[in-house]
């Protein structure tokens, strides 16, 4: 195996900020969330959450720029949306930040008259603040991504190539609404060198003193969209998640870089937690924000992170999606309606009184390990067949 350090490079400024966050007097260690596009992600559960977390910084920047959010909302709505000015910089202010004279100022720290004195500097700071967090490390996509398996998009304009959508597998330092920093590792799933890649992630976890690593995605299940989203937690810290019914004791399924990362980190003694949300199988290839919202709520409960922006956006998207699903079912064929109603009856037959969580009506109807593996294989094959379609985003 090659030296894992060859697979990634630290960003000096990002590393400095991450280390400052770890060294802060009240720091309890960083949480690292990670999700890779390319494996099973029914309902785009993990992909949606990554988008929402990265978009939160853009929303904050637009609010500060006065794009309809900064001056308009009443205080209680601003609090619900997480528009607290203290939570908009790259890192919370505190002793660690004050001890570094060259630390980049946040929007609150920067004097109002700075633009008059140095317009260029203010413009640069504003541009930086619009970026989703700060990059801490970048992985070598040329080493890890098979371009012919999932070709990056390129734009042809008139008589020449205009742009290239370069794959980006990056570790970013973000912060929640209270100013608590956390890490997000996201991008395309590595196609090769999984052992070196997972070893590299372990190096990063140990260098930055990560206290908990969490991964998340969606899996297709025979459940109705009209009932609560179920979860399958896994890893070394499933005690952080409310107890869930076990659907099986053992199953062999296709591997993934995220799963191997969890295995390797757990074997090395690090705390890891994985969340698989149960997405109705008839919605597995569509966006299903209900599942993403449940995953986000589980993450906040397990980590203490406060992420109201993402939660608010997902609640709105989930309500709209449920309305659209009901409209489509009402206009659809009788067979689909019968499937949904049958799943509802199966769910309710076992759920019984409020508080029971089993999703299957009869033990005999539980999927076997071979059946579950076959579903995973089929889902991956269908996804690969659709990757080459027009307009398909790379790694999505």
- Looking at residue 114, its pLDDT comes to 38
- Looking at residue 337, its pLDDT comes to 86
What's the burial of 136, exposed, middle or buried (CB within 10 Å: 0-12/13-18/19+)?
buried
Q: Nearest CA to 278 among 290, 266, 270, 268?
A: 290
Number of domains in the chain: 1
3-class state of residue 287 by DSSP: coil
Residue 43 in contact with residue 283, Cβ under 8 Å?
yes
Q: Report the chain (396 residues): mean pLDDT per 10 consecutive residues.
A: 91 96 90 96 97 76 48 33 36 37 39 42 43 88 94 96 96 94 97 97 97 97 92 95 76 92 98 96 94 98 96 96 89 82 85 46 47 60 55 41
Examine residue 391 and state whether it is found in any structural domain, yes or no.
no
Examine residue 394 and state whether it is found in any structural domain, yes or no.
no
- Looking at residue 66, its pLDDT comes to 55
- Looking at residue 42, its pLDDT comes to 96
The CA distance from 330 to 327, in Å, is 5
Residue 65 in tokens? 């720029």
Residue 201 in contact with residue 211, Cβ under 8 Å?
no
Residue 169 in contact with residue 139, Cβ under 8 Å?
yes
Q: What is the pTM of this model?
A: 0.73
The CA distance from 216 to 46, in Å, is 6
Report CA-CA distances (Å) from 62 to 65, 68, 69, 332. 5, 8, 7, 40
Examine residue 83 and state whether it is found in any structural domain, yes or no.
yes
Examine residue 374 and state whether it is found in any structural domain, yes or no.
yes
Find the domain containing 360 and state its range.
Answer: 4-386
Examine residue 355 and state whether it is found in any structural domain, yes or no.
yes
Beta-carbon contacts of 109 under 8 Å, excluding residues fewer than 6 positions away, are 89, 93
- Looking at residue 6, its pLDDT comes to 95
CATH code for the domain in which residue 240 is found: 3.40.50.10900
Examine residue 195 and state whether it is found in any structural domain, yes or no.
yes
Examine residue 396 and state whether it is found in any structural domain, yes or no.
no
- Looking at residue 354, its pLDDT comes to 43
- Looking at residue 76, its pLDDT comes to 34
- Looking at residue 219, its pLDDT comes to 95
Write the DSSP symbol of residue 394: T
Examine residue 392 and state whether it is found in any structural domain, yes or no.
no
């Amino acid at each position: 195996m090659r030296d894992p350090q060859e697979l990634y490079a630290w960003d000096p400024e990002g590393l400095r900020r991450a280390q400052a966050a770890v060294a802060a007097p009240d720091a309890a260690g960083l949480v690292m969330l990670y999700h890779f596009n390319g494996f099973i992600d029914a309902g785009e559960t993990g992909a949606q959450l990554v988008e929402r977390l990265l978009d939160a910084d853009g929303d904050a920047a637009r609010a500060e720029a006065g794009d309809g959010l900064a001056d308009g909302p009443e205080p209680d709505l601003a609090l619900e949306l997480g528009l607290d000015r203290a939570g908009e910089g790259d890192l919370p202010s505190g002793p660690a930040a004050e001890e570094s004279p060259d630390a980049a100022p946040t929007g609150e720290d920067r004097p109002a008259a700075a633009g008059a004195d140095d317009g260029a500097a203010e413009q640069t700071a504003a541009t930086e603040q619009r970026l989703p967090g700060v990059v801490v490390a970048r992985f070598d996509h040329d080493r890890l991504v098979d371009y012919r398996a999932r070709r990056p998009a390129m734009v042809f304009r008139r008589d020449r190539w205009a742009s290239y959508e370069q794959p980006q597998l990056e570790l970013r330092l973000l912060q929640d609404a209270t100013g608590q920093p956390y890490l997000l590792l996201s991008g395309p799933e590595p196609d090769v060198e999984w052992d070196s890649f997972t070893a590299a992630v372990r190096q990063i976890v140990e260098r930055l003193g990560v206290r908990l690593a969490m991964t998340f995605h969606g899996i297709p299940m025979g459940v109705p969209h009209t009932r609560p989203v179920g979860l399958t937690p896994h890893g070394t810290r499933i005690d952080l998640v409310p107890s869930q019914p076990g659907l099986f004791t053992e199953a062999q399924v296709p591997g993934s870089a995220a799963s191997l990362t969890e295995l390797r980190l757990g074997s090395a003694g690090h705390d890891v937690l994985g969340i698989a949300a149960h997405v109705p199988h008839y919605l597995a290839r569509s966006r299903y924000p209900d599942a993403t919202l449940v995953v986000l709520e589980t993450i906040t409960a397990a980590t203490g992170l406060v992420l109201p922006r993402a939660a608010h956006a997902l609640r709105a998207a989930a309500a709209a999606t449920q309305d659209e699903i009901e409209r489509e079912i009402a206009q659809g064929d009788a067979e689909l309606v019968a499937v949904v109603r049958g799943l509802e009856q199966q769910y309710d037959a076992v759920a019984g009184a409020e508080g029971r969580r089993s999703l299957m009506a009869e033990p005999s109807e539980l999927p076997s390990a071979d059946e579950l593996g076959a579903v995973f294989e089929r889902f991956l094959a269908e996804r690969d067949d659709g990757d080459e379609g027009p307009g398909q985003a790379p790694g999505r």
